[in-house]
Structure 1
Amino acid sequence: MKNYKLNILILLLLLTTGSCSYLDVVPDNVATIDDAFVDEASAERFLATCYSYLPNYGDPWVNPGIGAGDEVWFNEEIVGSDFNSALIARGLQNATDPHLNFWGGRQRGKNLYVAIRDCNIFLENIDNAVDLTDFKKKRWVAEVKFLKAYYHFWLFKSYGPIPIIRENLPIYTETKDVKVYRDPVDDVVDYIVELIDEAAVDLPIIVDSEILELGRITRPIALAIKARVLSTAASPLFNGNQDFASVVDNRGVALFNSTYDPEKWQKAADAAKEAIDLCHQANFSLVNDYDTRTDVSDTIMREAIIRSIVTDRGTPEVIWGATHFTFAQNYQRMMVPLLIQVTSSNPVSQFYASTLRMAELFYTRNGVPIDEDPSFDYNNRYELRTAVTAESDFVRSGEQTAVLHFDREARFYANIAFDRGTYFLDPTYYYVQTRAGELATKRNQGEFSATGYFVKKLINPNNALNTNTMLAYYEFPFPIIRLGDLYLLYAEALNEVKSTPDQEVYEYVDLIRERAGLEGVVESWSQYSSFPQKPTTQEGMREIIQHERLIELAFEGQRFWDLRRWKKAEEYMNKPIQGWNISGKGTEFYNVTTVFTPSFTFKDYLWPIREYERIQNPNLVQNPGW
């Protein structure tokens, strides 16, 4: 009977009302809520409900960080009306029925205001669980406070100023009190940070049992996300952005602070350093080794290390992984090119394609951008070159591929699979063949790369093949935040605080570069770049750190949000999506082709509130441009 009542409760919580805002009103079913907290077991089920609203990070259909940006592209045959993130990438976001509507829970978006309401219900009723120990109660309350903060943060980074829901209103609240206002950005950030600080005190540094509790919120997770929140708030989109100066509600309250505040970067730096120190105490570390089943070259070993950073289940670098959403076989099938002859008609779907701009993003083997390295033949990068035996770790010996695919850093080869490139699945070496009529070209409806590239980074080297299907898929939690991300956030914030970069700024970038087999920033630019002084200025180092983040965190769902917070999305996301001529046979394949020409305008920095919501509540001022 209790389970039945709990299910009814959850159903009622997920429903939205017509005349009243669903943001913060308690449903009129108090007896059912009391049953949900009658004992520890019932309360724990409600705790699981609070966790259930976390986004499915690795799902390209619903994570805008994957599908709504410009680092991966999906062919037109696979993008239907329900591929909401890809539709955003194609400029089809709208105010009538917005895609990935996390405000109202439509178009594949989870209703995060219902999530916040559930968190409030938990916090208000947890004392009713009479058999719950004080120790567990403190921990569970801390977890839910963090989740409440995180749901506010997800809404904030998507929509900007949002209504803060400190507590639920009773069902008998008058209509005028239900029609809430959006709170100013600075107030929203302060509230999120306040909740995280409250939660962190009672969170464990590590979980007691990885088998039973992996994915539960810990103090390192809380502090790492706090650093991300404050870095977002300190960034140009929200810190002194004059473009939003005229956004006021019907009370005349300005929702954005248009005055730049350097102290926000100091807060971000302090938060990142605090998180880093705690993560070190909890034994998080950069991944720097990989246990192969056979002897491999140093080159392949480094590639395997980079591919295992996020794909190993026990990686010491991932602070928070989406254990509620395992990056499973069906998602990995989207990005593995067909590498051998098979008897099955559907062993891979191979439509998760890297764009050409991502192939051009990674450094040369000297650790500088390809257009800054005089030793790299940048102007002829689309011409063909034949691989020699010494290059067989990268390209099949004797085969031709683009100059672009030679003499690149290790992260390029670990992240992207390309025509004639080596694909290592321990202990076997395969070679990608993507020209028309070859193995990795179109097989069934929608099953092909739109650009001729594939994402290799999210495929663990322990995966394997046979002639019938892909097998031994190595499933893992999709990364939400990891130590390498924190290092780069700290370097970024420090660089903004200091007028001139110093050794500490370089240190945290160089730790990432060292793992990739590169020299430090100062050494690389002074020896190999046509702009040797770039690391010595704040502006130059800012560009380097941002470039380093785009490389290091590629295909992890961060680029989309970074480009927005830096106010660089208009610069990047208005460029044509390009790849190779996938219909070309032989060397005709190597003609650069425009796959799609996207449009990203100023209004796209913040998503629209659905017009229906604004009709129900006229106090909700719409975001600019919508």
Structure 2
Amino acid sequence: MRNIFKHTIVCACVVLMTLSSCNYLDVADNFEEAFKYDSIFVNKTNLERYVWNIASLFPDEGYKFDKLGSYACDEAFSIMVSDYTSLDFVQGNITPTNLRSFNIWNSMYIIVRKVNTILKNIDKAKDLNGQEKDELMGYLYFMRAYAYYRLMMYYGPIVILGDDVLETNETEDYYDRPRATFDESVDYVCGELERSAGLMPVEVTPSYFGRPSAGSALGLSARLRLIQASPLWNGGSAARRTYGTWKRSIDNVNYVSQTYDERKWAQAAAVCKRIIDMNIYALHTVKKMTDTAPLPDNVPQHNFPLGAGDIDPFRSYADMFTGESPFARNPEYLWAQRSSGLENYSRHAFPYETYNGYGTVAIPQKVIDAYLMADGRTIENSSESYPYSTDGIWNNGTDLDFSGYKLKGNVHKMYVNRELRFYASIGFSGALWPMLSTSNLSKRNVQFWYNLNGNAGKNSTRNLPYNVNTTGYSLKKFVHPEDSWGAPGQGTGYENSRRLEKAYPIIRYAEILLAYVEALNNLTSTHTVGDYQLSRNIEEMRYYFNMVRFRAGLPGLTDAELASQETMQGLIERERMVELLHENARFWDVRRWGKYEITEREPIQGMDMDADGLAFYNIVPVNQTVARNRVVDKKLILVPIELNEVRKSPSMDQNPGYQY
């Protein structure tokens, strides 16, 4: 611990150029290297530039290869371990002495140190007026809270420094700080987020897209409160089974509460409702067009949000991820950022070599099976109108065109009649990839086939056997119809290839609506939180859940579904899996629900990648060492703190299961 804080003191005025910049506060130059530390507070210009430079220490959230998230849970798979350090985590290779990219402890406390230093000295900037100071302090509180938030998502309970700026050259005891409990950590960080929300702008102009706003702060608070209320962290069997013996060594207090508190669900609901009542956020929708897919009979024809009669559900969902809709004006984003990492990630979805991608993104079959049929039924209970079949090729003879998407008539039957988010998100065998930006017509409108000898199959990779899809499903969620790959030095035949600029949604309104419904669903009595009276209000749950469903062109909830808390929880979990696919939700969802050890034990399955013809469509376990070596261990709910830091701070306990 002493090493952490002394290191942050030394580094307080040094830009960490090795960290990815997320650019959400418009960092444009290397300001810290151009001025001495004492010059920071000479005037507001220097101070503001220094503050925005702190933001460069946060990572690009759209760069998914080295973070907890999709590849460290059951949401995605790859055999390219060299590129995806997340796969090291899920294989149990991350230890307190080998953290690879997961050691964010130091870097986040550097940010905390920088913020605390500015807060201590901000009054030295004499030309900063009251409003400017308040807004700048709002951003500072937010950055500090966001650093703590990231620490909590990785490590759980944190060391809270408050406003302290630790001095140099003190004794070892001075730097020895214990960790707070989980509840203390959440309460503190959410309090800081609330404070920042009161000072930051409510809305951000398009020219400042990427800067957080009051809604961004409340969105993070809502996410933390939902986690805090969930079974793993809120008493009950999951908390007792996982963390019943984990106690703080200095006072024998449980790090995780062993007593269930229903009010925590009410607190989560209250923050969500505050965001809803701001009346500035809405689900992204695109108006109905002439080629909009017709709605099933059981989907209300009323105008959105009471139905889907006046919107194009496919475009409404797809366009906010591909770059088609102007992301700087998207009312669904509580916080998003331009993301070069996301563009790079989308390249990994394209097949290797033949189409100049890397071919490493694979979606497991369980995700595919979670998507509903067009009329809202599951694949296990499909209807005669929209049947689910596994017995062969569709062989429709003609293509089906809707919303600018073409479903070819020669795909397998299991990919027909699915809900529109499926087509917006998944690249299945036979799916059409337009790649319209290239002027080489032979590279446009290509069906990718993942069978053994298909143009995206194992035998197409020749020299790099790890650059291959391993389940028969790729990710199209962030791929625009114009996106194609090719540049000087990357092969020939891809003239004028380009990609639309992408924005990665860190928090969006659909997540808040689903969180609100989940929180209400877990209430058994009425709670007062601030100005809100909260209970399991069925009509509130129906209205806000149905908004997400209607936007996707699906029917709403039935009375029978709403009547059962257990049924609703299952529907919420399935909805989050589909709606928030590859948005870094599921890794933490399965953990907070206390289901990690169940979901992770389910084998990674997909198509038979060693077969051609109809044999390819047999669902089989992935026959790869990386899949077989996946580890299920409750210690993997959290990341270990680097061993050297724990050894240097006697009061700071390691996460359970990581003694060495």
Give TM-score scaled by structure 1 length.
0.84
Gap runs ≥5 in structure 2: 1-8, 19-34, 296-310, 438-443, 487-492, 526-535
Describe the shift of the 1:587–1:450 C-alpha distance in structure 2 as closer, same or farther (beyond 3 A): same
Q: CA deviation at 1:91?
A: 2.9
1:157 & 1:489 partners in 2: Cα distance?
A: 17
Q: CA deviation at 1:88?
A: 1.1
- Which of 476, 480, 484 is the matching residue for 1:456? 476
Describe the shift of the 1:396–1:149 C-alpha distance in structure 2 as closer, same or farther (beyond 3 A): closer
Q: Is the 8 A contact 2:40 2:47 kept in 1?
A: yes
Corresponding position of 2:303: none
Indicate yes or no: 2:316 matched with 1:319.
Answer: no
**One-letter amino acid of the counterpart of residue 244, structure 2:** A
**One-letter amino acid of the counterpart of residue 51, structure 1:** A
SS of 2:211's equivalent in the other structure is coil
Corresponding position of 2:253: 253
Describe the shift of the 1:140–1:290 C-alpha distance in structure 2 as closer, same or farther (beyond 3 A): same
Q: Is the 8 A contact 2:103 2:641 kept in 1?
A: no
- Which of 503, 516, 520 is the matching residue for 2:539? 503
1:7 & 1:477 partners in 2: Cα distance?
A: 34
Q: Is the 8 A contact 2:97 2:642 kept in 1?
A: yes
Where do residues 142-153 of structure 1 align in structure 2 (5 Å cutoff)? Answer: 142-153=138-149
Describe the shift of the 1:395–1:600 C-alpha distance in structure 2 as closer, same or farther (beyond 3 A): farther
Where do residues 70-109 of structure 1 align in structure 2 (5 Å cutoff)? Answer: 70-75=74-79, 78-80=80-82, 83-105=84-106
2:511 & 2:190 partners in 1: Cα distance?
A: 19
**One-letter amino acid of the counterpart of residue 169, structure 1:** L
**One-letter amino acid of the counterpart of residue 587, structure 2:** F
Corresponding position of 2:641: 609
Gap runs ≥5 in structure 1: 1-5, 16-30, 106-110, 339-343, 524-532
Corresponding position of 1:173: 170
Range that drifts further, 244-253 or 493-502 = 493-502
Q: CA deviation at 1:602?
A: 1.5
Corresponding position of 2:300: none
Corresponding position of 1:310: 321
1:484 & 1:205 partners in 2: Cα distance?
A: 19
SS of 2:335's equivalent in the other structure is strand
2:503 & 2:316 partners in 1: Cα distance?
A: 17
Deviations 1:193-213 (A, max 9, x none): 211121111111112x422x2
Indicate yes or no: 2:369 matched with 1:369.
Answer: no
Where do residues 612-623 of structure 1 align in structure 2 (5 Å cutoff)? Answer: 612-623=644-655
Where do residues 22-33 of structure 1 align in structure 2 (5 Å cutoff)? Answer: 32-33=36-37
2:645 & 2:385 partners in 1: Cα distance?
A: 54
Q: Is the 8 A contact 2:398 2:409 kept in 1?
A: no
Q: Is the 8 A contact 1:265 1:494 kept in 2?
A: yes
Corresponding position of 1:136: 132
Where do residues 232-251 of structure 1 align in structure 2 (5 Å cutoff)? Answer: 232-240=227-235, 241-243=239-241, 244-251=243-250
Corresponding position of 1:108: none
Indicate yes or no: 2:226 matched with 1:215.
Answer: no
Describe the shift of the 1:397–1:415 C-alpha distance in structure 2 as closer, same or farther (beyond 3 A): closer
Q: Is the 8 A contact 1:57 1:478 kept in 2?
A: yes
1:66 & 1:574 partners in 2: Cα distance?
A: 16
**One-letter amino acid of the counterpart of residue 14, structure 2:** L
Indicate yes or no: 2:275 matched with 1:264.
Answer: no
Corresponding position of 2:306: none
Q: CA deviation at 1:131?
A: 2.6
Q: CA deviation at 1:49?
A: 2.8
Q: Is the 8 A contact 1:364 1:376 kept in 2?
A: no
Deviations 1:113-133 (A, max 9, x none): 112112212222222223333
SS of 1:289's equivalent in the other structure is coil
Corresponding position of 1:438: 454
Q: CA deviation at 1:417?
A: 1.0
Q: Percent identity?
A: 28
- Which of 202, 206, 219 is the matching residue for 2:203? 206
- Which of 151, 154, 158 is the matching residue for 1:158? 154
Corresponding position of 1:421: 431
Corresponding position of 2:349: 335
1:12 & 1:435 partners in 2: Cα distance?
A: 48
1:8 & 1:574 partners in 2: Cα distance?
A: 43
Q: Is the 8 A contact 2:12 2:114 kept in 1?
A: no
Q: Is the 8 A contact 1:56 1:62 kept in 2?
A: no
1:381 & 1:168 partners in 2: Cα distance?
A: 64
SS of 1:509's equivalent in the other structure is helix
Q: Is the 8 A contact 2:349 2:474 kept in 1?
A: yes
Q: Is the 8 A contact 1:395 1:420 kept in 2?
A: no
1:398 & 1:413 partners in 2: Cα distance?
A: 14
Deviations 1:133-173 (A, max 9, x none): 33222111111101111211221122221111212221143
Deviations 1:333-385 (A, max 9, x none): 111347xxxxx86622222121111111111222133234465999x955423
CA RMSD after TM alignment = 3.1
Q: Is the 8 A contact 1:139 1:202 kept in 2?
A: yes
Corresponding position of 2:582: 555
Q: CA deviation at 1:507?
A: 1.1
Q: Is the 8 A contact 2:562 2:568 kept in 1?
A: yes
Q: CA deviation at 1:290?
A: 6.3
Q: Is the 8 A contact 1:161 1:182 kept in 2?
A: yes
Corresponding position of 1:577: 604
SS of 1:321's equivalent in the other structure is strand
SS of 1:125's equivalent in the other structure is helix
2:314 & 2:394 partners in 1: Cα distance?
A: 22
**One-letter amino acid of the counterpart of residue 436, structure 1:** L
SS of 2:57's equivalent in the other structure is coil
Q: CA deviation at 1:397?
A: 5.0
1:89 & 1:471 partners in 2: Cα distance?
A: 35
**One-letter amino acid of the counterpart of residue 418, structure 1:** F
